[in-house]
Every structure is written in C-alpha cells, then in structure tokens.
Amino acid sequence: MAEPQGFRNGPARIAGLLPLEEVAERAARLGITLDRVLQALAWIAFGDITRVVSWDTETLTMTASGDLDDADRAAVAEIIASAKDQKIYRVKMHDKPSALALLLRWLDKLEKLKSEASNGEQDDDDGEDPREFLIREIARLRARRGGTSGAPPGSAEAESPEAPARMGVLGAD
C-alpha cells in the first residue's frame, strides 16, 4: 500500500497544492494566460444556440462545424445523435449562468483594484501565504483551547480576552 505523501517541499506544498512559481511555469508551458481564460469564459457566457442549430416543430438543423466561429464551437458542450440512424437530436451548450457569474467576479475584482489604485489605498496583504496564516491561527486556537478540556467557557469567562476560543459545530450549543 502506498504511503500518504506529506509536505514535499516544505510548508509551501500543503494538501497537494503547488507553489505559485510551479503553477506559473506550468501555465506558461501550456499557453494558459488570463486573456485566454477570460476569452473562453466570454464565449461560453455569450454563446447563442441559434447560431449553432435551428429548429421547428419537425426538424433540428445543425450548422456545419466548419461554418461555426471559435466562440460558437467553444459554447457547445455536447452533441448527441441517435445510435440507429446517426441523426442528431440534442445539442447541449455549456452552463451560461456559471460562466456569467465567474466573469462578474473577475470584473468585480478589477473594479476593486482600480478603485484602490485611484484612492491610493493599500491592500492589507503583507505577502504572507494565506495557507500559512490559517495553519498558524488554527494552531494558536488549539493551544488556547488546550487548558479547558473541551468544556465551553462560562458567560463571564467568555467576555475576557484570555478566554479559550470556542470551537465546534454552529448551532450545536
């Protein structure tokens, strides 16, 4: 049986996550850029099935794949044909709401960055890896809780800054 793998290159490689440098190298090697990702999302988000197929009550007519542009081809998720006569009876497009939501999140981030840059505000990011911060905070909370034998503090204790951190499932009180 294979041994589970722990930290390979120190704490930067936590739970199978790759260091940013390694991810950037792979992305460059594969030709993955932010522009290409956003373009593919836009093609899916703004895809129009009527450019791919047309239909009436009796027939479904496909546009030849050679006549489709890159955006329309990218928006098609699946084409299903009958096993008996190979006649296409279903065309499925990629999920537009998910692509639109992702694009909106990107645009929101860009707007925040622009407003921070114009206001001269600094982000409170100190360059620390967020995973390292979380690991340290969880360890601190565990150590703080260690002396209470798991019992939640009383109401007077809970107010003091020295009170152990409560940990548990929400709504389990």
pLDDT tens digits, one per residue of 90-122? 999 999 999 999 999 988 888 888 888 877 655
Cα separation, 64 vs 20, whole angstroms: 42
Q: Which residues pair with 21 in a beta bridge?
A: none
Q: What angle do CA 33, 36, 37 make, to 5 degrees?
A: 85
Threshold 0.75, pTM exceeds: no
- pLDDT, one tens digit for every residue, the chain (173 residues): 555 554 455 544 444 677 888 888 998 999 999 889 999 999 999 999 999 999 998 888 899 989 999 999 999 999 999 999 988 889 999 999 999 999 999 888 888 888 888 776 555 666 777 788 888 888 888 888 775 444 455 544 444 555 555 555 554 44
Q: How many CB atoms lie within 10 A of CB 47?
A: 20
